[in-house]
Amino acid sequence: MAVLEGQSGAKSRRRSGAIALFAVANMLAVAIAQNYKEAEVKAAFLYHFTGYVEWPASAFASNSSPFVIGVLGKSDVFPSLQNVVRGKNWNGRSFAVRHVDTAKEMRECHVLFVASTEAKRLPQILEVLDDAPVLIVGESEGFAQRGGMVNFFMEQNRVRFEINPDAATRVRLTISSKLLNLAKVVRQ
């Protein structure tokens, strides 16, 4: 009986998680339709991605290290992201949103958002990060096919995203199937 209850509870949690993710995706689609800025929608997605990706314990220097989201390049996503994560935490860790530029700063991130102005640097970014467990998110055409993990794009006046799960797996990140179901999956 306990096994059946455990399985039922797990199914219920998965179903609840899927419903919550679909609700977030729908809310974000409605937000764009209600004239929210594109940067605000991307910031909300970045925050919600953290609930559907698993990082290895080695990604954190200590138990009290913050969860770092870095922004590379000039982008309106930065202030929007600061607002979105204010007062929130990830698995008991506070969020830190930082402008980054150096290799050391990039390697200290858990999520790195690469503004479209910096997309040409992707080969160097991938080289610097190598096997570091950093979720690399961009917003330029072909970003995910060239080795980025998540890429935002516009479709029918809505922010959508594509995911390259192979790139994430290569650096020991596990992306939930719930998130993959909402994305356009691409390969390198």
State the pLDDT confidence band at 20, using cuts at 50, 70 and 90: low
13 has a pLDDT exceeding 70: no
Q: If you average pLDDT over every residue of the chain, what do you get? A: 86
Summarize the confidence of residues 129-149 as an average pLDDT: 97
Pairwise CA distance, residues 67 & 89, whole Å: 8
Pairwise CA distance, residues 135 & 84, whole Å: 18
In CATH terms, the superfamily for domain 2-185 is Response regulator (3.40.50.2300)
Query: Dihedral (C-alpha) 161, 42, 50, 93: value to the nearest 10 degrees?
Result: 170
CA-based max dimension of the chain? 57
From residue 17, how far is each of 79, 103, 134 by CA, in Å?
28, 35, 23
Summarize the confidence of residues 29-38 as an average pLDDT: 58
Pairwise CA distance, residues 28 & 44, whole Å: 8
Tell me, what's the pLDDT at 188? 73
11 has a pLDDT exceeding 80: no
6 has a pLDDT exceeding 70: no
